[in-house]
Structure 1
Amino acid sequence: MEQCELIVLHTSDIHGNILPINYGNNKQTNSGLAKLATVFKNILKTSDCTILIDNGDLIQGTPLTYHFAKHLNELSNPIVSVMNDLGYDGAVIGNHEFNFGQGLLKNAIRESKFPWLSANIVKKQTKEPAFGKPYFIKTFPNGLRIAVLGVTTHYIPNWENPDNILGLEFLDAFETLNKWVEYLQENEQYDLLIVSYHGGFERDLETGAPTEQLTGENQAYRMCMEIAGIDILLTGHQHRQLSTQLNGVLVAQPGHMGQAFSKVSIKLEKLKGSWTIVEKASDNIAIDETTEPDGKIVELTSPYEDSTQNWLDEPLGEIVGDMRVHSPLEVRKKDHPLIEFINKIQMDAAGVDISATALFHNGAPGLPNKVTMRDIVSNYVYPNTLKVITVSGQDIKDALEKSAEYFILDDEGEIHVNPSFESPKPQHYNYDMWEGIEYHIDISKSHGNRVTLLKYKGETLKLSDPFNIVVNNYRAGGGGHFNMFKGKPVKKEIQTDMTELIANYIQRHREIEASCNDNWSVLPLK
């Protein structure tokens, strides 16, 4: 009886991490494709039946990929060069693939020696898959045929700058997957079906209880329960590590930044001329300090890395006073010089007097006294642009109430972060802080009633009045479930990335005073 073992190596949400380095402080990390490459090449040497798949959110996320996109894009994409060297069989298009526009994405696809998959991202006019065939079939010398089908969360229009997705339509991922699985069953010959879905789970895998608002952003639970014929479902987007089975479907999700990868093992036997699955298992394997980065990958990346490091070390100006982040929670509880500074830059660029921004992640260090580009990208980690939108006073109040959901109060009156903003995926970027208005948020009040003070220019803000406000493009489109902003009139778009706006502002003023006017606070104060 003929037997074989299929090994599937699965990465997801790499977010531009090639070298094992934290660009904020240049310290070594246990992450990135260079370290994964060492492990992958050893596995590929010992197995003659392997598939290597990336599940999306690949080409954006580090200063290296940002610097490439903005300053070196006449060269080959460094991420694609690495994946070509590793021999990836395919990649799924993730939501962050569009952050730098379709031109850069299409160049990456053109340079790739592997297909990019997404069955549900189609051309708006023809409804054809926008980026080539949505699946591929890999045939091995022993006759084993593996089908790999890719889909992407269709929630992208709720986040992405509309200019970056012109001409595209994002069909429901579940419905599209159901259709294409039926197509494969009727039109192709294969022994095993792998679905790679850049999306995650909307329900608890054990109880089936909803774990988030059922918006359609994540549909993996429903895919497992309602679509017959999927053998393996590779997932991502939520930055979780999962390895289990659900309704007979083997499920894997490897986390993010290349800190781990999923290794799926499928044992098969050939019975009456057909391959049959006899055993399947998956495991997430973490990278640690014992794994050395692959020399070839380091060499491929070196020109981009050297240029990026020089760019990051460019001196820009000075901060007088303290604009560092000593406690992320405290920054979010009352006005802070860093947040006020970013809001002032947004207002300066937009020519309006009301602005909102966020402390995007808990690792944001704030700005030291002598500022370089490295300090800016350590705090502002997304390639956001700005939009001026016209909203009502009621919209502003509703947005403040939405942000107020970030906090909970324990039995002793202490303020904590709402667990839903930390799990299953950290969403600290969905708590906004405002400049140009005065407000208090009282966490002891019920949801929807926590804004206890709201003023504009010293007077109670009128809920029926219109206001021009500046926010980033993600928020302007309603991202983070800020539906009150969705579809509002856009008065102005500032297409320069915020990192560049911050750098230009500091260079122009050279010396910035760290100050804040204490226009807002979260109660109770302790």
Structure 2
Amino acid sequence: MAEKSKKIKLTILETSDIHGAILPINYANNEERDLGLAKVATLINQEKKNNYNLLLIDNGDLIQGTPLTYYYSRIDSSKINPVIKVLNHLKYDAAVIGNHEFNYGSEILNRALQESVFPWLSANIILSEGGSCYTGKPYYIKTFEEGIKVGILGLTTKYIPNWENPAIIQGIRFEDPVEYAKRWVKVLKEEEKVDLVVVSYHGGFERNVETGEPTENLTGENQGYQLCVEVPEIDVLLTGHQHRSIYGRKINGVLVLQPGTQGLVLGKAEIVFEKSDSEIRIIEKNSELLSIKGIKADSEVIEMIKEYEDKTQEWLDRPIGKIKGDMLVRDHMTIRTRDNALIEFINKVQMEYSGASISNTALFDNHALGFPSNVTMRDIVSNYIYPNTLRVIRITGHDIKAALERSASYFEQYDGKEIRANEVFSTPKPQHYNYDMWEGINYIIDISKPIGNRVVTLERGGRTIDLDKEYEVVMNNYRAGGGGEYIMFQNKPIVKDIPIDMSELIANYILERGTIEATVNENWKVIY
């Protein structure tokens, strides 16, 4: 007599790289935008109505990234973290630690973990003392209809020590996610006897998902492709970190998914099982991205963070001082091709508070508007969008030249028509923040020349810089650790740490002076 069988569907919903975005607004001007958890919540609630078996996971970089989360973490953290409050309300099943979870410090992160009614997972973040998992749990088991057992393993990019302030991650090890996946997937399959292995990895793909060709230097920052190839027992790999939109793909039989950033879309995977008296097997796996464009924001989510938002908006509109002259950004390519008042000002602030006479900084994204004549906190946090601190490191002239060549690779080789950004700085993830501009030295970059040979002038004090001499340079902590493939800065002597957010330093600088004069000393330019 033939066995009777039954088909059972499981839906997995994934958010990733929300970066504190709850409300559908642009904080620079409060204009409405199609993004944020309030709109994602509407989609989640719709899916819950239509799917009995549903798993809801956040893949990391959750609690940092907007003025709302900055105000909570730095000004008033007396109540529950607003982002955690929303995830609790939406009944998330689990979350994974992302690299930006550490940005506001261990106290804010640990509070977020404690306030969550769902488990946080990250098998490869290990406490140095005792060797236990930092989050307490490497994986989570959930049982669905007909006894279908699903194991969710959390993993995080191991590259965090190259970006984060060492004081924040002291006592923590970031182990290789592939090796830890091999260990724990075996436990899930052989000991826990799960029917589906879901790995939620806060990291992306180091290779083209279709061809397998490398798309970046294989530093270990992104190991999604390697996970699929070396741990084929994974059934579904949820990814993030790169802010890409990836769906409908399988690598080595592993279904992969990545839902962009800021809640622009909701990742959805559907798994169909066939259950008989003797076995449960997977017969179908598909994935898609659900857009929030045109979706109405959930009124309950908006209401539950209203108190946080009102305080944030009041703080953002607080006057700081005045700008005499022009510090506005009108064209984001032009500002990267010749010295300008905004970048010169940020470098001046860094040099003032660090005591260093050489500095570098970036224009962090292409939404920056610069500073108007009357400056508020909104203007500051809209232009300096990361909670970076400063570090002074001792480097050689060779290192300075190598760093300038790295920045110069931002441009495609000039073809006589127009200046274009090298696509590796925008694909697969926008990385405009990895082009630095310097103060305290004089230099010229010629983008008609091949990458690696573009620095045609490099001077200090009217003389060609001594490449063998050592110099003290101030930069943000991300860059000082080698972030953005600035490997020439890694493991260099640290002269000074300034553990205060740059946005706070900028605000203090303006408050102390009242009026800031916009200046441009033309110490650098790009030619072709």
- With normalisation by structure 1, the TM-score equals 0.98
Query: What does residue 140 of structure 1 align with?
Result: 144
1:175 equivalenced with 2:179 (yes/no): yes
Query: What does residue 18 of structure 1 align with?
Result: 22
1:78 equivalenced with 2:87 (yes/no): no
1:305 equivalenced with 2:306 (yes/no): no
Most deviating of 80-89 and 448-457 = 448-457
The amino acid that maps onto 1:121 is I
2:100 to 91, 96, 104: 96
Query: What does residue 273 of structure 2 align with?
Result: 268
Task: Judge conservation of contact 1:337–1:516 (CA < 8 Å) in 2.
Answer: yes
1:105 equivalenced with 2:105 (yes/no): no
CA positional deviation for 1:414: 3.1
CA positional deviation for 1:45: 2.2
CA positional deviation for 1:431: 0.7
The amino acid that maps onto 1:24 is A
Cα separation, 2, equivalents of 1:519 and 1:431: 16
Cα separation, 2, equivalents of 1:297 and 1:414: 46
* 3-state SS of 1:328 partner: coil
CA deviation map 1:16-35 (0-9, x unaligned): 00111110010111111111
Query: What does residue 117 of structure 1 align with?
Result: 121
1:387 to 391, 394, 398: 391
Query: What does residue 453 of structure 2 align with?
Result: 449
Query: What does residue 205 of structure 1 align with?
Result: 209
Cα separation, 1, equivalents of 2:79 and 2:253: 45
Cα separation, 2, equivalents of 1:414 and 1:81: 48
Task: Judge conservation of contact 1:84–1:114 (CA < 8 Å) in 2.
Answer: yes
Cα separation, 2, equivalents of 1:269 and 1:185: 18
CA positional deviation for 1:413: 5.2
CA positional deviation for 1:304: 0.6
* 3-state SS of 2:338 partner: coil
1:414 equivalenced with 2:401 (yes/no): no
Task: Judge conservation of contact 1:312–1:373 (CA < 8 Å) in 2.
Answer: yes
Cα separation, 1, equivalents of 2:451 and 2:232: 41
Query: What does residue 378 of structure 2 align with?
Result: 374
CA deviation map 1:163-200 (0-9, x unaligned): 11110000011111111112222211211111101011
CA positional deviation for 1:223: 1.1
- 1:184-195 matches, within 5 Å, as 184-195=188-199
Cα separation, 2, equivalents of 1:113 and 1:147: 18
CA positional deviation for 1:410: 4.0
Question: Runs of 4 or more off by more than 3 Å in structure 1?
Answer: none
Cα separation, 1, equivalents of 2:28 and 2:431: 20
CA positional deviation for 1:126: 2.3
Q: Let me know the Cα RMSD of the aligned residues.
A: 1.1
CA positional deviation for 1:3: 2.5
1:322 equivalenced with 2:338 (yes/no): no
Cα separation, 2, equivalents of 1:206 and 1:29: 32
Query: What does residue 87 of structure 1 align with?
Result: 91
CA positional deviation for 1:459: 1.6
Task: Judge conservation of contact 1:191–1:274 (CA < 8 Å) in 2.
Answer: no
Question: Which segments of 5 or more consecutive residues in structure 1 lack a partner in the other structure?
Answer: none
Percent identical residues: 54
Query: What does residue 522 of structure 2 align with?
Result: 518
Task: Judge conservation of contact 2:28–2:379 (CA < 8 Å) in 1.
Answer: yes
Cα separation, 2, equivalents of 1:412 and 1:452: 19
1:497 equivalenced with 2:493 (yes/no): no
The amino acid that maps onto 1:275 is I
The amino acid that maps onto 1:54 is D
Most deviating of 377-386 and 118-127 = 118-127
Query: What does residue 252 of structure 1 align with?
Result: 257
Query: What does residue 483 of structure 1 align with?
Result: 487
Cα separation, 2, equivalents of 1:410 and 1:449: 13
1:48 to 47, 52, 57: 52
* 3-state SS of 2:92 partner: coil
- With normalisation by structure 2, the TM-score equals 0.97
Task: Judge conservation of contact 2:360–2:437 (CA < 8 Å) in 1.
Answer: yes
Task: Judge conservation of contact 1:13–1:256 (CA < 8 Å) in 2.
Answer: yes
The amino acid that maps onto 1:269 is E
CA positional deviation for 1:141: 4.3
Query: What does residue 434 of structure 1 align with?
Result: 438
Cα separation, 1, equivalents of 2:388 and 2:253: 41
Cα separation, 1, equivalents of 2:339 and 2:305: 41
Question: Which segments of 5 or more consecutive residues in structure 2 lack a partner in the other structure?
Answer: none
Query: What does residue 356 of structure 1 align with?
Result: 360
